[in-house]
A and B are shown apart, each in its own frame.
Chain A
Amino acid sequence: MADLSIDIRTLIKRHGATLAVDHVTLGVRRGEFFSILGPSGAGKSSLLRMLAGFETPDSGEIFIDGQLMAGVPPNRRPVNLVFQSYALFPHLSVAGNVAFGLEMKRIPRGEIEARVAATLELVQMGDKRDRRPGQLSGGEQQRVALARALVNRPAVVLLDEPLAALDQQLRQQMQVELKSIQAQVGITFVCVTHHQEEALALSDRLAVMHQGQVVQVGRPQDLYESPATHFVAQFIGTSNELRGTLRDPHVGQAILTCDHPGLSGKVRVAMPSDLQSGAAVALILRPERVRLASNGEGTAFDNAVPGTVEALRYLGSGWRCVVRITEQIAWTIHLPNHANGLVPWKVGDPVSVQWNVSDGTVLPLP
């Protein structure tokens, strides 16, 4: 397919006895910001190193820009890697670092000068071109590392945990910049990260990896709204969970009988078409999909569960409220700020937690 920058087919990589990358098939479209998200040890770094050419797959194929990469060393691949530690050459100036790739490709001197200057402007480092990496802050080093990759105009820029080494505030700022730079240059970015907020904020699409496998690929909203597995639901965003067994399926709905002690009453859920009655499942509810009402009021919602307000935190845009439902279960609920920051409850109040069948996602438990 011509519109794919990266086409990975049933890639396998073993590290000793473990499958670091387990039958991964993945396509990254031209010009998109694609993230590979997973906890550490999920195999995402190994995947990235195989894309860059530092590791060799045990089987499977990688095509970059339609070219099969088998046996192609890193210096012949149309990709450039932004290292997690930045790996800037300490003996070269900022401009020297950025020019390195072009010099290796034997680009004429004049063109190197022009491209280095333009790329340093793009990352707002034009005034620091003669500094040494040791004289730069973390954020500045990050920009130089990015410029060093971008200046070569590769088919794909690979980023290994690009913002991990930065402090929280700088992280937020660099997220915005990274995204806008990518949009400006139009080069395909593939970013490996374990930071789910970052991945959601940056990516056009992302793949979630778990134990060497790609569990789900999609846009951030797809992964958040309709996670394919229990792992994805838990890993992406905050999720409130109710575990139980499916009973009495009837016209697309079923009853969830909960295993949790202290939780009586039936919970109505959507019946997934691929599950049978009696299946062990988890109901996943996002914090903003659940409403609170004072205990005892009538409800227009499909489900209502009693609980107690345990904590309230004011966020400006609303309130983050923790409601204790049983001894084991406490849910996080996001209350929008409707009127002057007022919230009708205080810690210790009994409340009713309510939601509709369509607000939840039912996923089989492994």
Chain B
Amino acid sequence: MMAPSAIARKARKEADGNATAWLLAPGVLWTVFFCLLPLSVIFLVSCATRGTYGGIVWDFSLDNYRDLLHALYGRIFGQSLLLASLTTIICLAMGFPLAYYIARLSPRRQAVWLVLVMVPFWTNFLVRTYAWIFILRTEGLMNTVLLKLGLISAPIEILYSNTAVVLGLVYGYLPFMILPLYAAIERVDRSLIEAAWDLYADRWSVFRRVLVPLTKPGIVAGCVLVFIPSLGAFITPDLLGGARSMMVGNLIQHEYLIARDWPLGSALSMVLMALVMGAMIWYFRAQSAADGKRRAS
């Protein structure tokens, strides 16, 4: 026999357990069916081979992965990493001052600026990227204006180059940098900045010794949010990049849709994902090791 209060407690616990299960179910099911399952399918496909007319032949082998060791793929992966890193660095360098400026405004003005930062999201990304073609091309807006102003004597050939790709990526992902940075900077107590200033720190030292350590979670979040989609981007390099600006995203798209080599495309996807995950794990390992060391010293 259980005491009435114990029964009530047990019943409540069961009810709590049921509620937890019901609240978790949609998220868990979604993840399983739409993330893990397709991912498993892609992995299986990556171990198959391409049929003569583009189908999938289910014979298990790791040949696709071996094929990826070819220098051509290495170059495209390297190029992707380079362009994504460049995009992240530029976004960080441009985003930080802007986020700092917004975070120091009055709440009303902050709201206005944040809406302005998010306005581009209201239009389709593809359309916005096409707009960049009109701006950048030889007879485009940029060259016309610069020529009319006499600032240049010949049009700048910028479209269909890595420069245009980075430009487009920075344009597309800058808000993903600004928003987490803003959230982090906004939380920093203003008197901490003043305290550092009072303790003989110049602007650079205030930034490096106080602002950066205190906003690190925002910096990391912003970099992850920019770097990962940049690495896998395919619309921007497809539209703004030239033949030599191919990124992993385009390659995967090419293998799936043009070459109809699903197994190779799947293998590429798996490698890309492994790269991103490896980089993240390495970063967080290094981070916690550094934290541990600092705490011990």
List residues of A whose CB falls within 8 A of some B CB: 52-54, 73-76, 79-81, 83, 85, 87-91, 100-101, 104-105, 148, 152
Chain A contacts for B198, CB-based, 8 A = 52-54, 74-75, 79-81
CA distance A73 to B196 in the complex (A): 12
CA distance A176 to B205 in the complex (A): 36
**A-B CB pair tally, cutoff 8 Å:** 57
B199 on the interface (CB 8 Å rule)? yes
Most buried by A among B194, B195, B198, B213: B198
Q: Are B195 and A75 in contact (CB under 8 A)?
A: no
Known contacts: A91-B213, A91-B214. The answer to whether A83 contacts B194 by CB under 8 A is: yes
185-236 of chain B: CB within 8 A of chain A: 189, 191-192, 194-202, 205, 209-210, 213-214
Residue of A nearest to B200 (CB): A104
Instruction: Count residues of chain B with CB under 8 A from any CB of chain A.
Output: 17
Chain B contacts for A73, CB-based, 8 A = 197
Known contacts: A101-B200, A104-B200, A105-B200. The answer to whether A89 contacts B205 by CB under 8 A is: no
Instruction: Give 6 A-B contacts (CB < 8 Å), ordered by A residue.
Output: A74-B194, A76-B200, A85-B189, A89-B192, A104-B201, A105-B200
Q: Are B201 and A90 in contact (CB under 8 A)?
A: no
Smallest CB-CB A-B distances: 9 pairs: A101-B199, A104-B200, A87-B195, A87-B191, A91-B213, A74-B197, A75-B200, A104-B201, A81-B198
Chain B contacts for A101, CB-based, 8 A = 199-200
CA distance A89 to B197 in the complex (A): 12
Chain B contacts for A104, CB-based, 8 A = 199-202, 205
Known contacts: A83-B191, A87-B189. The answer to whether A75 contacts B197 by CB under 8 A is: yes
Residue of A nearest to B209 (CB): A100
Chain B nearest Cβ from A69, distance in angstroms: 14
Chain B contacts for A74, CB-based, 8 A = 194, 197-198
Residue of A nearest to B296 (CB): A130
**Which residue in A54, A90, A148 is a CB contact (below 8 Å) of B199?**
A148
Chain B nearest Cβ from A52, distance in angstroms: 6
Chain A nearest Cβ from B157, distance in angstroms: 46
Chain B binding site: helix, strand, loop or mixed by DSSP?
A: helix
Chain A contacts for B201, CB-based, 8 A = 75, 100, 104
CA distance A74 to B213 in the complex (A): 22
Chain B contacts for A90, CB-based, 8 A = 192, 214
Chain A contacts for B191, CB-based, 8 A = 83, 85, 87
CA distance A223 to B127 in the complex (A): 75
Chain B nearest Cβ from A191, distance in angstroms: 16
CA distance A104 to B194 in the complex (A): 14
Residue of B nearest to A83 (CB): B191
Residue of A nearest to B192 (CB): A87
- A sample of 4 more A-B contacts (CB under 8 A), given A74-B198, A87-B192, is A54-B194, A75-B199, A83-B194, A87-B189
Chain B nearest Cβ from A108, distance in angstroms: 15
CA distance A152 to B197 in the complex (A): 14
Chain B nearest Cβ from A115, distance in angstroms: 14
CA distance A89 to B214 in the complex (A): 9
Chain B nearest Cβ from A86, distance in angstroms: 9
Residue of B nearest to A105 (CB): B200
Chain B nearest Cβ from A282, distance in angstroms: 40
CA distance A111 to B201 in the complex (A): 19
Residue of B nearest to A158 (CB): B198
175-193 of chain B: CB within 8 A of chain A: 189, 191-192
Residue of A nearest to B191 (CB): A87
Chain A nearest Cβ from B256, distance in angstroms: 46
5-64 of chain B: CB within 8 A of chain A: none
CA distance A6 to B196 in the complex (A): 22
Chain A contacts for B205, CB-based, 8 A = 104
CA distance A141 to B189 in the complex (A): 16
Chain B contacts for A54, CB-based, 8 A = 194, 197-198
Interface string of B140-170 (1 = CB under 8 A from A): 0000000000000000000000000000000
CA distance A88 to B210 in the complex (A): 11
Chain A nearest Cβ from B1, distance in angstroms: 48
CA distance A80 to B192 in the complex (A): 13
CA distance A298 to B28 in the complex (A): 94
Chain B nearest Cβ from A102, distance in angstroms: 9
CA distance A74 to B194 in the complex (A): 9
Residue of A nearest to B202 (CB): A75
CA distance A89 to B192 in the complex (A): 7
Chain B nearest Cβ from A302, distance in angstroms: 54
Chain A nearest Cβ from B220, distance in angstroms: 14
Chain B nearest Cβ from A51, distance in angstroms: 11
CA distance A80 to B200 in the complex (A): 9
Q: Are A100 and B196 in contact (CB under 8 A)?
A: yes
Chain B contacts for A81, CB-based, 8 A = 194-195, 198
Chain B contacts for A85, CB-based, 8 A = 189, 191
CA distance A12 to B126 in the complex (A): 58
CA distance A148 to B209 in the complex (A): 16
CA distance A101 to B199 in the complex (A): 5
CA distance A148 to B199 in the complex (A): 9
CA distance A150 to B202 in the complex (A): 20
Chain B nearest Cβ from A155, distance in angstroms: 13
